[in-house]
A and B are shown apart, each in its own frame.
Chain A
Amino acid sequence: MKLFRAHVLICGGAGCISSGCHAVKEEFIRELQAHGLDDEIQLIETGCVGSCDLGPIVIVYPEGVFYQHVTPGDVQEIVSEHLLKGRYVKKKMYRHPSSGEPVVSSREMDFFRHQTRIALRNLGLIDPESIEEYIARDGYFALGKVLNGMTPEEVIQEIKDSGLRGRGGAGFPTGLKWEFTRKAGGARACGEKYVVCNADEGDPGAFMDRSILEGDPHSIIEAMAIAAYAIGAGQGYIYVRAEYPLAVARMKQAITKAREYGLLGKNIMGTGFSFDLEIRVGAGAFVCGEETALIASIEGKRGEPRMKPPFPATAGLWGKPTLINNVETFANIPVIILKGARWFSRIGTEKSKGTKGFAIAGNINNTGLVEVPMGTTLRKIIFDLGGGIPNGKRFKAAQTGGPSGGCLTEKDLDTPVDYESLQAAGSMMGSGGLIVMDEDTCMVDVARFFLEFTQDESCGKCVPCRIGTKHMLEILTRITEGKGQEGDLETLEELAEVIASSSLCGLGQTAPNPVLSTLRNFRDEYEAHIKEKKCPAGVCTALKRYEIIPDLCKGCGLCARVCPVQAIDGVPREPYRIDQEICSKCGLCLSKCPFKAIVTK
């Protein structure tokens, strides 16, 4: 293997691609060649580094110097200064938020310093298209260990002892699920059971699974092969949502490579064990993340959930015992096998072992992907890693668990993040989406947003879910339009109870959660909409009032000229006035007033 004196890593995750990292990469290729450095310095495109809002990101090793917002125009300087002369290009380096000093190594950044990376171990460090780089970081060693010296029972025992629980949302003990699937249908021959990876990542606002598939695809292949050996399966499927074309491409490439290396297919590593994988692409139905619907979808049918039991472990794909695990769950497996259950179970809390990946987004300074030990407080995630709320705004709420979850508020900030604590706080772990909302967010509108989502995504199989969510959505929409009535909140609560208790699948059962949790935490906000016809956060358009502050108005008349409905009247050089009856709340005047004399209330 060639030895390089330095490595230039360019993040090629979805965020950085949309920030233009490919143009930066092209420029690096040109500049390195121009300086004759392409033999000494290796250029690698990696998966998501994590801090997507700082992209395009370039990290130069061995020092680990972190360059942010790199443009093609910066490349020449980085090459001629840093790579040729060893002088860092300070102006593009990440700066410590309080001292303003450039931080030399990314390892010292708050965003990375507090993380413990197990599932995301290779993200941002290796070229996902290079199986050699995966192997160089102990890749496929766990599979080797399992095939060459462990019985399936020993593998299952190891996973059970580790305390690993499902990362797809429900938190079911993974080892136990493997054991059920192994024992299902007696000790049958290979090929009659299936391993499925749930990569449907339905929570809108979450992208951990996507980043793992794109940034470290071989870890999923290796884990699925280990699982197949443990339960006695010969075939696996990865079900990826259609919105992730790059993940599909990377997975395909990785599967082909793994086959070439004899790590998939017949007689893996010469041990007689055979296992192969196929990718199935979803088609835009959220409910297909539910395991029985996902199975129906792989079978080529409408993705409608069915009653459980029987669970997939006994009757899954084509009626055969099937193991379904989430992407992040799988990503933990090889590490547990290599480092041992004892090592893994020392991380985390009593009932929630290991780490959890979170996609932090919304009104927060550092958006991106993090992995922290279970039990880390929300405060630490949002304020230390996430860097707090931008523009001096106040924290209002954080949503976990997506459309099935709930919001957490100020009082919950010191809650340790684990399955039980989040549930007790009225939300849930979910798959790892963490959306932060500031004081300018209207919680009634957020609840309406989630209900609109679940209503839209309901498969329609059962009445309470299909009709009930529609009814709830109508009430919520009415409230945000200022047409809420006395008794609406009680009706919402009654409907919520019926839907939660009588729907067939998790989608319907959890659909009311965002409404119930905002009702619990922000009832006064609902009441302001209904009784005072006011949106305290100033979001709900129909309830907005545009007003001119007479003291600030210079009477220039610009607003009156732009108003499309002639709602503004006045005499030049005197304060103007808005007729609320006519105003269509378009907001044009507010953006045009040169003296900032127009406000919303």
Chain B
Amino acid sequence: MAASSCRAASGGCAGKYRKLDEILQKYKGVPGALIPVLHQAQLLFGYLPHDVQVRIAEELDLPLSEVYGVSSFYSFFSLKPRGKYTVSVCMGTACYVKGAPALLEKIKETLRIEDGETTEDGLFTLDTTRCVGACGLAPVLTIGDDVYGRLTPEKVPEILERYRR
């Protein structure tokens, strides 16, 4: 059953499903386990493939509709594959006031994608967040775990370039 998303993913897929089963075993019977499990599954697979959600529903003994209801409610969960790096532009108030919209425009222009899309080479996914808590350095953008502050649109291409190498 796990086959379809397995074929899509490159090697180590069976290993990922084994890992998923371990996670599910750990959370069996824990009240309110669904969201922590979805978090860990997303960390493992990079997003939440259909098969993974089916497996989670079976193991946690929940209707699939409930699993989908939850995974689609929260913006942090992704139902589509994402690029290697997620470029997130902070659209919190502090960043907005300090010019985040111009930053976002520059990134769209540089990567030639819209908010929510992934570049063709699978390297970058662009999205927006609401405050990463580094408001003192607004405007802020994050790429993976890296936080960049005090930005101007001019600095964008050079920063993105670092991730192409």
Contacts and interface: CB of A to CB of B under 8 A. Distances in A.
Interface of A: 14-15, 17-19, 51-53, 55, 201-207, 210-211, 242-245, 280-286, 297-303, 318, 359, 361-363, 367-369, 399, 402, 433, 435, 437, 441, 446, 449-450, 453, 459
Given A205-B135, A282-B76, 17 more contacts: A14-B133, A14-B147, A18-B134, A18-B137, A18-B140, A18-B147, A202-B130, A204-B90, A204-B92, A205-B95, A280-B32, A283-B35, A297-B35, A361-B136, A367-B136, A369-B136, A441-B97
Given A286-B130, A433-B93, A18 B148 contact: yes
Interface string B68-97: 011001111100000000000011111111
B75 A15 contact: no
Contacts of B150: 19
A207 B34 contact: no
Interface in B32-83: 32-36, 38-39, 66, 69-70, 73-77
A207 B133 CA distance: 5
B93 A204 contact: yes
Contacts of A301: 34, 66, 70
20 contacts: A14-B133, A18-B134, A18-B137, A203-B131, A204-B92, A205-B92, A207-B133, A283-B39, A283-B77, A284-B75, A286-B130, A299-B32, A300-B70, A303-B73, A361-B93, A361-B94, A361-B136, A363-B97, A449-B93, A450-B93
A399 B135 contact: no
Nearest to B94: A361
B134 A300 contact: no
Contacts of A437: 97
Contacts of B35: 280-281, 283, 297, 300
B131 A207 contact: yes
B75 A14 contact: no
B107 interface: no
A449 B96 contact: yes
A207 B76 contact: no
A52 B132 CA distance: 14
Contacts of A245: 145
B157 interface: no
A403 to B, nearest CB: 8
B20 interface: no
Nearest to B147: A18
Contacts of B66: 301
B32 A362 contact: no
Contacts of A244: 132-133
A361 B94 CA distance: 6
Nearest to B37: A300
A363 B135 CA distance: 11
A129 B35 CA distance: 27
Nearest to A460: B73
Contact of A243 (B70, B93, B133, B148): B133
A281 B135 contact: no
Nearest to B141: A18
B134 A281 contact: no
B143 to A, nearest CB: 11
A483 B142 CA distance: 35
Contacts of A281: 35-36, 39
B29 interface: no
B149 A19 contact: yes
B34 A300 contact: yes
A386 to B, nearest CB: 11
Nearest to A52: B136
Nearest to A286: B130
A546 to B, nearest CB: 16
A283 B38 contact: yes
Nearest to B67: A300
B91 A204 contact: yes
A172 B95 CA distance: 30
Contact of A284 (B76, B98, B147, B148): B76
A282 B38 CA distance: 11
A242 to B, nearest CB: 5
Contacts, number: 143
B136 to A, nearest CB: 3
B31 A318 contact: yes
A453 B33 CA distance: 29
Contacts of B93: 203-205, 361-362, 399, 402, 433, 435, 449-450
B58 to A, nearest CB: 16
A503 B120 CA distance: 42
B138 interface: yes
B129 interface: yes
Nearest to B102: A587
Interface string B100-128: 00000000000000000000000000000
Closest 7 CB pairs of A and B: A52-B136, A204-B92, A283-B74, A284-B76, A361-B94, A205-B93, A300-B34
Contacts of B133: 14, 201, 207, 210-211, 243-244
B75 A283 contact: yes
B70 A15 contact: no
Contact of B135 (A207, A283, A284, A298): A207
Nearest to B88: A243
A368 B34 contact: no
Nearest to B27: A300
B76 A435 contact: no
A318 B31 CA distance: 9
Contacts of B38: 283
A368 B135 CA distance: 8
A202 B75 CA distance: 14
A47 B75 CA distance: 29
Contacts of B31: 299-300, 318
B136 A368 contact: yes
A301 B70 CA distance: 6
A206 B69 contact: no
Nearest to A50: B136
Nearest to A213: B133
A19 to B, nearest CB: 7
B74 A303 contact: yes
B149 to A, nearest CB: 4
B92 A15 contact: no
B94 A205 contact: yes
A369 B91 CA distance: 20
A283 B147 contact: no
B148 A435 contact: no
A17 B93 CA distance: 21
A53 B92 CA distance: 17
Contacts of B147: 14, 17-18
Contact of A204 (B39, B77, B130): B130
B139 to A, nearest CB: 11
Contacts of A450: 93
B91 to A, nearest CB: 7
